[in-house]
């Protein structure tokens, strides 16, 4: 006998719930690692570069920021 009802949960909702479960598991794993004194992601991909706003790479060497000097026009 086949099911007579149609699917009530959309794929978008299933995907959101799946991502939420993954984020919760990752967060718990980081929390447990901190309790054990380990830092699994010293340069986590969640960190953003202050200049570009893009995620930083763990092995990427960051160049020193050059100071920006604006010339004031005398009126």
29 CB-near residues (< 8 Å, 6+ apart): 40
- The pLDDT of residue 37 is 87
- DSSP symbols for 12-26: HHHHHHHHHHHHHHH
10-41: per-residue pLDDT in tens? 999 999 999 999 999 999 999 999 999 865 55
39-63: per-residue pLDDT in tens? 555 555 566 666 776 666 655 555 6
**pTM attached to this predicted model:** 0.42
The encoded tokens of residue 20 equal 């939420």
């Amino acid at each position: 006998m086949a099911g007579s009802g149609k699917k009530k949960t959309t794929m978008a909702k299933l995907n959101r719930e799946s991502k939420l479960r993954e984020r919760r598991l990752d967060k718990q794993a980081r929390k447990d690692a901190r309790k054990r004194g380990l830092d699994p992601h010293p340069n986590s991909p969640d960190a953003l570069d202050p200049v570009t706003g893009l995620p930083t790479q763990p092995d990427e060497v960051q160049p020193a920021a050059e100071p920006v000097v604006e010339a004031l026009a005398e009126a």
